[in-house]
Amino acid sequence: MRVIYTLWLRQIKRFFRAKSRIVGAIGQPLLFLVALGYGIGSVYARAGQGSYIEFLVPGIMAQTVLFSAMFYGAMIMFDKQFGFLKETLVAPVSRFKIMFGGALGGATTATLQGTLVFVISLFLGFRPAHWALVPLAIVVLGLLAIAIASFSSGIGSFVQDMQGFQAINQFIVFPLYFLSGALYPLDHVPTWLRIIAECNPMSYAVDAMRYILIGQSHFGLLRDLIILVVCVILMLAFGAYRFRHIEA
Amino acid sequence: MSKDGPVIHLQHVTKRFGDLIAVDDVTFDVQKGELFALLGPNGAGKSTTIKMLTTLLKPTSGELTLAGHDVIKAQDKARKSFGIVFQDPSVDTEMTAYENMELHAALYGIRGSETKSRIKSLLELVELWDRKDTLVKNYSGGMKRRLEVARGLLHHPHVLFLDEPTLGLDTQTRNLLWDYVKKLSHEEGMTVFFTTHYIEEAEAVADRIAIIDHGKLIALGTSKELMKETKTKTLEQAYLALTGKTVRDEEPGKGDEWRARRRARMMR
């Protein structure tokens, strides 16, 4: 436990020391909320769909967690480049704990950022359907964050440089995000797009958030949560597997 | 740990990377309390040998033990028995020296009550106690290296590995560093296994010296024995007599590749 705690704490400390990361954590989602929320919102309302900001907020919260937890993988890559990873790899500690402690830290900071988006959205007029369910929404964000942070740890353990990492963002993270229903309802999209979204685990996290916060769901909460939990387990296994095979 | 056996033991150790044989059937022992130097030209297999001994690489074949523990089968026990200062820095520069030490204590399961006093005495030893709360990114190269030495000693290892520990350090820092290491070796019976490109350093510090070239162990003995064997007057002449005078191109291993890239980046 102490090992996991210490590696978790390291990520938390590093996050709060990097002022630029905190500014970025607020800036990017705010831009999305304002630009999309007000830009597309008027058309959305005219189409008879109600408030777009309300629809968008759960999606942007999930997006923030996705991007931030994915960035955690870059931290692993830097740890490898700047040598610190070796210090943990020669320690008498299982590789799973090393992967898990750090990923938990990355997931915590990602969840914090997602929660921050929620707070910002309150100033833009967003109101959750039930305040009592807000903690549950944060739990869902946390699960998504652990899945993504474990996945990105695995990726970061073999990617060599920032260019490689950017490529992965292009080919994995953006599709996960744009094809997830974070930005548009899946009820009326063309069938092919719906099928893609149904294969995208991110859709279920977004859907769960939306159900909990504004009472709208495409898949149903139970299915969302089951798929999310399965993803967490699979991604932890992936991260652990990759870490076990790091040779320096 | 077994009482009488060698602290470091390699038997018929071979490591291949594809077609390249980085370490070729190497066998030798290092005794408790010995200061042991591994010398060789670039790409001779020094770092690969250290990486195998420190569980970072698995040998293709052969047997390695540390303090009586099989490095592959009893990995965690072997890991507990050594400390290491890597060739490249491996401290977290975004944390303070004290935090780096605390993290190490947690990784090695040093009890909380003992952690503080050990960290204090080691940071005092390497003369960094006054700067313990400074982020390591604000340290000079020599300070970082001293911190790594202190960290490597925190869990009272039986063996301390030093992979070119004095590369890029000024003479004062080098002398200081060897003074701590020799002192600890004599007082605690700690075995020190190091690689270096400075032959005079090996001559001054090491009890015994192994020379490795093209992955093969080509000589092993005290510096006097090596000079006698090659009929030379200095260790450097003996070294050159054994390894020849041609300049080697280092075969880039995984680690070396990014090292080169990082250097290139820094120069940009």
Domains annotated on chain B, with CATH: 1-81+158-165+188-268 (3.40.50.300), 88-156 (no CATH)
Which of the pair, A200 or B254, is modelled with greater confidence? A200
Residues sharing a CB contact under 8 Å with residue A222, sequence separation 6 or more, in sequence order: none
**Selected residue of B60, B92, B193 to mutate for chain A interface (largest A Cβ count, 10 A):** B92
Among chain B, residues having any CB pair with chain A shorter than 8 Å are 51, 54-58, 75-77, 79-80, 82, 84, 86, 88-95, 99, 102-104, 106-109, 151, 254-255, 258, 261-262
Q: What pLDDT shows up at residue B262?
A: 47
- Tens-binned pLDDT, residue by residue, of chain A (248 aa): 899 999 999 999 999 998 887 788 788 888 989 888 888 888 888 877 778 889 999 999 999 999 999 999 999 999 998 889 999 999 999 999 999 999 999 999 999 999 999 999 999 889 999 999 999 999 999 999 999 999 999 999 988 888 988 898 889 999 999 999 899 988 889 999 999 999 999 999 999 999 999 999 999 999 999 999 999 999 999 999 999 988 76
Question: Which chain A residue is nearest to residue B47, measuring alpha carbons?
Answer: A248
Is the predicted pLDDT of residue B260 greater than 60, yes or no?
A: no
Q: Which helix (H) or strand (E) holds B208?
A: strand B208-213
pLDDT band, residue B113 (cuts 50/70/90): confident
Q: What pLDDT shows up at residue B88?
A: 86
Chain B CB contacts of A84 below 8 Å: 90-92
How high does pLDDT run on average in chain B? 88
**How close does chain A come to B244, measured CA to CA in Å?**
30
Mean pLDDT of B121-132: 92
Contact flag B102-A6 (C-beta cutoff 8 Å): yes
Chain A CB contacts of B262 below 8 Å: 81
Q: What pLDDT shows up at residue B198?
A: 87
pLDDT band, residue B241 (cuts 50/70/90): confident
Task: For residue range A41-77, list pLDDT tens digits in order.
Answer: 888 888 777 788 899 999 999 999 999 999 999 999 9
Q: What pLDDT shows up at residue B250?
A: 58
Q: What pLDDT shows up at residue A200?
A: 94
Contact flag A248-B104 (C-beta cutoff 8 Å): no
Residue B80 one-letter amino acid? K
**How close does chain A come to B245, measured CA to CA in Å?**
30
Contact flag A90-B55 (C-beta cutoff 8 Å): yes
Q: Domains of chain A: which residue ranges?
A: 2-244
Q: What pLDDT shows up at residue B4?
A: 67
Mean pLDDT of B160-175: 86
Q: What pLDDT shows up at residue B267?
A: 46
Contact flag A92-B57 (C-beta cutoff 8 Å): no
**Selected residue of A85, A87, A98 to mutate for chain B interface (largest B Cβ count, 10 A):** A87
Task: For residue range A135-161, list pLDDT tens digits in order.
Answer: 999 999 999 999 999 999 999 998 888
Query: CB-based contact (8 Å) between A83 and chain B?
Result: yes
Is the predicted pLDDT of residue B243 greater than 50, yes or no?
A: yes
**How close does chain A come to B209, measured CA to CA in Å?**
25
Contact flag A92-B255 (C-beta cutoff 8 Å): no
Three-state DSSP string of chain A? CHHHHHHHHHHHHHHHHCHHHHHHHHHHHHHHHHHHHHHCHHHHHHCCCCCHHHHHHHHHHHHHHHHHHHHHHHHHHHHHHCCHHHHHHCCCCCHHHHHHHHHHHHHHHHHHHHHHHHHHHHHCCCCCCCHHHHHHHHHHHHHHHHHHHHHHHHHHCCCCCHHHHHHHHHHHHHHHHHCCCCCCCCCCCCHHHHHHHHHCHHHHHHHHHHHHHHCCCCCCHHHHHHHHHHHHHHHHHHHHHHHHCCCC
